[in-house]
Amino acid sequence: MTHARPSAQPVPRSPFGFVGRAGRAARALTTAASALALAVGALTLAPAPAHADDAVPSQEYFSYYYLDSAREKGYTGKGVTIALIAGPVDTSDPALQGASITDKSRCTIEASPSEARHSTDMAIILVSPITGVAPDATLYTYQTGTEESKSGGSCDAPDGRQLDTYGNLINQAVDDGAQIISVSQSVFDGSAQLKWAIAHALSKGVLIVASAGNSSSNENTTHLGRWSGVIGVSAINSDGTFASYSSWGEGVVTTAFGGPFNSFDPTTKAPKRVNGTSVAAPIVAGMLALTRQKWPDATGNQILQLLANTSLNPNHAWDQYTGYGAASLADLIHTDPSQYPDENPIISKPGGSEPSAQDVQDYADGVAYSNSDSVFPASYVYRGTEEITAYAPYGEFSVHLGTSPRYHRK
C-alpha cells in the first residue's frame, strides 16, 4: 500500500513534559521528496559550524531531547548494556573518555578512515559522558566489514565461515548480555542465520534498532529494519519536518533527530557537520536504554508496545515514513509499560516479514531446526524430536531430544 507523507508531526517533549523549541518553530512534515540519491548507509554532509572546533563539540540533539534534564533526574542508562555493530571504535576520542566500552569483536576489521569515524560517532551518540544519550550505559562493540573495509583474513574461520556476519554478531551480543543492539549500516543479508539470530534476540527480549538509510527512497530491502521485531528508524529535522535525505519503508517503526551532528573530517580532522538516519538510530537506542533503566521489569515486548503507543503520530497511526511517529523520551520515561500486553507489536510488518511469531516461539522452545550448518549459535539447545540432529554436524549447538517445554504445557 502506498502512503502519502504525513502532513503533521508532533515533536519530542522533555522529561518534564515541556514541548521543545521545534514545537514552536514548525510541526508540519514536508511532502516534497528529495531527488538526490546518497550513498547507502552514509551520512549526509552539512556546512561545518564555526563553533565546532573543540575536541568535544556540542550536539544539538542534546538540547533537543533535554538530556541535561534527563541526567538531572538520574536517567543515564546505568545498568543497561548496549551492543553496537559497526566498524572499529576509537576509544581514545576525547568525547569517549570515561565511557564504559568493551570491544567484543570476533575478528579485527581494517576500516577505512570514514568507516572508523562513523563508528566512533555512533558510540559518542550512545555513551559519551559529555554528549551521549545514555552516558552510564555499558557499550559492547562488534566489528563487521563493509564495502569500505576489510578483515585481512582474520574474519575467515578455518571451516570457511565468516565470523563477522550480522547473524553471528547478533547472536554473540545476545549471549554476551546486551539488552539493546544498535546498527547504522545497510544490511544486504537475507540468510537463515540472520533470521534465526533475530528470533534469538526477540526470544530473549533484546531490542534491535537500525537506521533506515539515506537515499530519499524506499530502502526496506537493504536495511535491517525489514526484519520482524527490528526497530527501523527514519530521520526528522530539528524543526520536526521529515528529513529530505531519509529513506523510508515498511520496516520503519519510529523516527528521530537525524542531524546536524558535529563530527570531524576523517582525513583532515577539520570540523564537519553530518546528517543521517545513522544519527537517528543510536539516539533511539539510547532512549531505549534510559527506558530500560526506568522500567527494568518490563519485557522486551512491552517496551516495543510502549514505543509504538507513545510515538507522536496522531493516534499513533503507522506510516512508512515515520512509523508510529517521533520517539518521545518524556513519554517513554513517564508511561508504565506494564499496562501493555506482553506481545510484540511489530512481529509482522506491512507486506510480510520474518521471523514470524511462531518462529520466535519455536526458537524459545528449542524446536527450531535447520539442516544448514552454522545457522544456530553454540548457545542454542535443540529440544525437539528430529533424531537426525543427534549425529548430523549441523552446528555447534547441543541436542537434548524431546525435552522442549512445549511438550509439557497444558
Alpha carbons 100 and 128: distance in angstroms, whole number: 9
Give the residue from 235, 317, 250, 240 showing the smallest Cα distance to 284. Answer: 235
Cβ atoms of residues 66 and 18 within 8 Å: yes
**Grid coordinates representing 117?**
569515524
Give the residue from 246, 151, 126, 144 showing the smallest Cα distance to 194. Answer: 144
Alpha carbons 393 and 390: distance in angstroms, whole number: 9
Number of domains in the chain: 2
Alpha carbons 189 and 182: distance in angstroms, whole number: 16
Classify residue 3: in a domain, yes or no: no
Run of H or E including 211: strand 207-211
Q: Which residues contact 108 (CB under 8 A, 6 or more apart)?
A: 88, 143, 151, 152, 154, 155
Classify residue 307: in a domain, yes or no: yes
Classify residue 193: in a domain, yes or no: yes
Classify residue 348: in a domain, yes or no: no
pLDDT 10s digits, 107-158: 888 888 999 999 999 999 999 999 999 999 999 999 997 766 666 667 877 7
- Print the domain residue range for 173: 21-339
* Residue bearing cell 577505512: 112
Q: Which residues contact 41 (CB under 8 A, 6 or more apart)?
A: 146, 184, 185, 186, 211, 213, 214, 278
Classify residue 58: in a domain, yes or no: yes
Of 339, 356, 386, the position where a domain reaches its end is: 339
- Residue ranges of E strands in 16-149: 44-46, 81-86, 100-103, 138-143
Phi, psi of 84 (to 5 degrees): -115, 115
Alpha carbons 196 and 297: distance in angstroms, whole number: 25
Residues 380, 296 within the same domain: no
What pLDDT was estimated at residue 409?
Answer: 83
Residues 393, 273 within the same domain: no
**Grid coordinates representing 68?**
541535561
What pLDDT was estimated at residue 41?
Answer: 39
Q: Strand 261-264 vs strand 207-211: parallel, antiparallel, or unpaired?
A: unpaired
What pLDDT was estimated at residue 30?
Answer: 30
Q: Which residues contact 56 (CB under 8 A, 6 or more apart)?
A: 94, 95, 128, 130, 131
What pLDDT was estimated at residue 10?
Answer: 53
Of 339, 358, 393, the position where a domain reaches its end is: 339
Segments of the chain with pLDDT less than 50: 1-2, 7-8, 16-42, 45-53
Cβ atoms of residues 329 and 70 within 8 Å: yes
Classify residue 168: in a domain, yes or no: yes
What pLDDT was estimated at residue 248?
Answer: 95
Residues 290, 215 within the same domain: yes
Alpha carbons 258 and 279: distance in angstroms, whole number: 5
Alpha carbons 21 and 213: distance in angstroms, whole number: 26
Residues 261, 385 within the same domain: no
Alpha carbons 194 and 210: distance in angstroms, whole number: 14
Alpha carbons 89 and 61: distance in angstroms, whole number: 21
**Grid coordinates representing 213?**
538509510
What pLDDT was estimated at residue 18?
Answer: 42
Classify residue 15: in a domain, yes or no: no
Residues 273, 390 within the same domain: no
Residues 330, 380 within the same domain: no
What does the radius of gyration of the chain's CA atoms come to, in whole angstroms? Answer: 21
Residues 383, 317 within the same domain: no
Of 284, 317, 339, the position where a domain reaches its end is: 339
Q: Strand 381-382 vs strand 230-236: parallel, antiparallel, or unpaired?
A: unpaired
Q: In the chain, what's the furthest Cα-to-Cα distance?
A: 67
Question: What is the total residue count of the chain?
Answer: 410
Q: What is the CATH number of the domain that holds 113?
A: 3.40.50.200
Give the residue from 105, 48, 16 showing the smallest Cα distance to 268. Answer: 48
* DSSP assigned state of 186: -
Residues 92, 141 within the same domain: yes
Residues 101, 143 within the same domain: yes
Residues 243, 377 within the same domain: no
Q: Which residues contact 331 (CB under 8 A, 6 or more apart)?
A: 13, 310
Classify residue 155: in a domain, yes or no: yes
Residues 175, 117 within the same domain: yes
Q: Which sign, positive or negative, has the C-alpha torsion 329, 330, 334, 339?
A: negative
Cβ atoms of residues 331 and 309 within 8 Å: no
Residues 102, 35 within the same domain: yes
pLDDT 10s digits, 324-350: 999 999 999 999 999 999 999 999 998
